[in-house]
Amino acid sequence: IKKKFPILNWLPKYRLQHLQGDFIAGLTVGLTVIPQGLALARVARLPSQYGLYTSFMGCFMYCLFGTSKDITVGPTAIMSILIEKFGASPKAGDPTYAIILTFFCGVIQSALGLLNLGIVVDYISHPVIDSFTVAAAVTIAEGQIKGWFGLHNIPREFIHELYWTLIKLPETRLVVIIIIILLLLLLLLFEFKYRLWDFIMGLINTNKTARNAIAVILCASTVYICNSVYHTNPFTTTSNITSGLPPFKFPNFTLQLDSNVTVSTVEILTNIGSGLAIVPLLALVECLAIGKIFAKKNGYKTNPSQEFFAIGVCNFASCFVSSFPVTGSFSRLTAVNSASGVMTTAGGLITGTLVILSLLFLTPYFHYIPESTLAVIIFCAVLDMISFKLPVKLWKVNSTFVCVCVCLFVCVCVCVRWGILCGIAFSLVTLICLWSRPKLKSFTPETYVILIDHGLTFPSVEMLIERTNEIVQQDGTPRAIIFDCSHVKVIDYSVIQGMKEMIEDFDKRDSIIIWMRFTVCVQYLLL
């Protein structure tokens, strides 16, 4: 029971100093997650309130089942872009597809955790994850530029979106451009330190974790003053947000488009397609990666299988409150939580409570938030996802660099779905080629010594036989061949059969074949 409910391990030891750290961290993260949740709902093409619906239930559930004190569970940029690609409903602003995807994420992730099938995630290589992360960041950042300047009727495709944004840029008011530039500089200023300005930067760093809240308050106040005093508003503001908590109900697996057209469950799942596999797996990879980093940094251990189960429960519970898929925040929110001195997963209770209070009491004021402000917040948030050192590191590994380029190009220019699948396929093909074509180092002249540099499996048998025949048939002279198998750790039945065929063939040629330094059971050759 303690293994499945980690809260039972730390709750009896909970003290007042733990509460102080968790309260400050939860409050700080809450000030960050509220404006960011509103903005991420825009990325997912959903009404703004769904960003807040996604931000509280996962916090409560992870407190019970999670093993990483630093992880903040909620909406993330990567999940939002995946919902936009896989969970887009034919009815504008309808969350049905996203909620159904959340339900299946919960079921699949919980099953993987209960059955200890975390090995499935290992088949998504780090180059694929990194390239997708960069592609998502580029796509999201580029998509926010039109929001900066309040441009409408822009296509969603990357190339067309970029083209029409540049074409319609002259339609923007000068005052909006000036304010957006100032806001962008303000948010980016929080990222830097200058030794000459210790006092000023000390104040900035104190409020760095709440920078999104500061930006939203300043811009919303500006809009309110413009409306009240000058009776004008140069900004496009956020649409009215539904007040109150979402209804707690089981997801609806059908969609009523109009009085005569209903989309069935089968059609919905068909339209989601590969998203039923990609979204839950990438959510697990995202959470597991950031969890390992902060666990190592802060000196504690996480349980991968329990993390799978915890994220699955978070999604399953969240689908009852109209949430889109949640996972551990890949960068900023988890970093904010850790830097704020969080002590246990109870910090999520404070964050979730703050989100609920904002839904109950603050939603009328969210109408004054300019859409351009949310666009700038998302743009600054995804900058952390872009690693400019990554191409330099991967250039040293040719196959890995090619994999990243292929995945990145397809994700950005074609489709996220095909980009991820192409990246996974390329990685698997590279792995298969490596095992089917082992490197053979030969030493000659009279006696050939062939060093096999890794395991032998059935795809490499024919290549090994062909290489051996080439050596034997060079001049027709009987010669000895020694296979140095000191690096061979595993063989299969096909390899054994191939070895027996080579031994019989060498007997007919009056040649000698020697298998040396086997670390696996040589008795298998007697089968």
> Following CA atoms 78, 130, 31, 364 in sequence, which dihedral angle do they give, to the nearest 10 degrees?
-20
Q: Are 371 and 346 members of one domain?
A: yes
Q: Are 287 and 381 members of one domain?
A: yes
The CATH number for 513's domain is 3.30.750.24
Q: Are 160 and 296 members of one domain?
A: yes
Q: Is 251 domain-assigned?
A: no
Question: Quick one: pLDDT at residue 278?
Answer: 85
Contact 63, 349 (CB under 8 A): yes
Angle at 61 between CA 362 and CA 67, to 5 degrees: 125
Q: Is 426 domain-assigned?
A: yes
**Using CB atoms within 10 A of its CB, is residue 490 exposed (0-12), middle (13-18) or buried (19+)?**
exposed
Q: Is 232 domain-assigned?
A: yes
**Residue 21's domain spans which residues?**
7-244+257-307+328-395
Q: Is 102 domain-assigned?
A: yes
DSSP bridge partners of 237: 370
Contact 24, 340 (CB under 8 A): yes
Q: Is 322 domain-assigned?
A: no
Q: How far apart are the first and last CA of the chain?
A: 47
CA pair distance 57, 309, nearest whole angstrom: 15
Q: Are 16 and 140 members of one domain?
A: yes
Q: Are 150 and 261 members of one domain?
A: yes
Residue 121's SS3 state is helix
Select from 360, 317, 272, 333 the least CA-distant residue to 54.
317
Query: Phi-psi bin for 517: left (phi > 0), alpha (psi -120 to 50), beta?
Result: left
Question: Phi and psi (nearest 5°) for 521?
Answer: -70, 110
Q: Are 55 and 20 members of one domain?
A: yes
Q: Are 411 and 456 members of one domain?
A: no
HEC string for 2-54: CCCCCHHHHHHHCCHHHHHHHHHHHHHHHHHHHHHHHHHHHHCCCCCHHHHHC
Q: Is 76 domain-assigned?
A: yes
Residue 243 CB neighbour total at 10 angstroms: 13
Q: Are 192 and 53 members of one domain?
A: yes
Q: Are 346 and 486 members of one domain?
A: no
Q: Are 464 and 384 members of one domain?
A: no
Residue 439's SS3 state is coil
Q: Is 419 domain-assigned?
A: yes
Q: Are 346 and 411 members of one domain?
A: no
CA pair distance 409, 426, nearest whole angstrom: 13
Residue 514's SS3 state is strand
Contact 283, 74 (CB under 8 A): no
Query: Phi-psi bin for 525: left (phi > 0), alpha (psi -120 to 50), beta?
Result: alpha
Mark the ranges of the chain whose per-residue pLDDT is less than 70: 118-126, 132, 136, 140, 142-144, 146-158, 160-161, 171-177, 179-180, 183-213, 233-237, 239, 330-333, 336, 381-400, 415-417, 434-447, 451-455, 472-479, 519-527
Of all residues in the chain, the percent with pLDDT exceeding 70 is 69
State the total domains in the chain: 3
Of the residues 436, 462, 496, the one at which a domain ends = 436
Q: Is 316 domain-assigned?
A: no
Question: Quick one: pLDDT at residue 325?
Answer: 92
CA pair distance 191, 181, nearest whole angstrom: 16
Residue 357's SS3 state is helix
Tokens of 411: 């994700």
Q: Are 477 and 338 members of one domain?
A: no
Query: pTM for the whole thing?
Result: 0.71
Of the residues 395, 417, 448, the one at which a domain ends = 395
